[in-house]
Amino acid sequence: DADVTQTPRNRITKTGKRIMLECSQTKGHDRMYWYRQDPGLGLRLIYYSFDVKDINKGEISDGYSVSRQAQAKFSLSLESAIPNQTALYFCATRGGSAGEQFFGPGTRLTVL
Amino acid sequence: SQQGEEDPQALSIQEGENATMNCSYKTSINNLQWYRQNSGRGLVHLILIRSNEREKHSGRLRVTLDTSKKSSSLLITASRAADTASYFCATDPSNDYKLSFGAGTTVTVRA
């Protein structure tokens, strides 16, 4: 089974709808991240969390919110989706001393 | 804003050839990492090089780091069709557990 899972994998929605993307991990890591990827722009950090009580904004947090329901779960919400939020969204985790991040398979979101 | 910039944006090579891509960054770092992404999938960590290291190897991968020039290179030797992917460098500026990713280099290996 995958260590970092994301649901849904694909979602098409309409402008103004509320959307929640979910991420779960079995790696036991405290640190979790949400990124979006747009063609030609690489990954940009939306929000990150170092533990259940610690939530931080990334470089592009406007229009997004997050919830860390448990160590293993980190959800990303779009309160009122707009077309320029169409992108590929990735969740990632990171352990303690090692620097690498572990990524989920991504959610492809299309906002019409 | 993105810390790292990869060069070239795209690279096409014949199977068996070597592929080299470069990453430049702007601020001091604790470590620099390289990731691979197969089309539309999640990123996979390849290698991490710390600021006090100059070269690191992992299988067919060789990474160099020049902190005086704020640059790194990734060499893939004896490329295979399965190496076709996008490659991203990511910098860890101060070990604050956040990474800044570049826009990536797309590598196509022709059979």
β-sheet bridge partners, residue A86: none
Q: CA A42 to CA A37: how far, in whole Å?
A: 6
- Contact across the interface for B92 and A43, Cβ inside 8 Å: no
List per-residue pLDDT tens for chain B, 111 residues long: 456 788 899 999 999 999 999 999 998 899 999 999 998 889 999 999 999 999 999 999 999 999 999 999 999 999 999 999 999 999 988 766 789 999 999 999 999
Count of Cβ atoms closer than 10 Å to residue A5 Cβ = 15
| Structure confidence by residue, pLDDT tens digits, A60-73 | 999 999 999 999 99
- Minimal Cβ distance to B97: which of A35, A40, A94: A94
Residue B66's contacts (CB-CB under 8 Å, 6 or more residues apart) are B54, B72
Bridge-based pairing state of the strands B85-92 and B43-50: unpaired
CA distance B24 to chain A (A): 14
Taking the C-alpha atoms of residue B36 and residue B93, their distance in angstroms, rounded to an integer, is 20
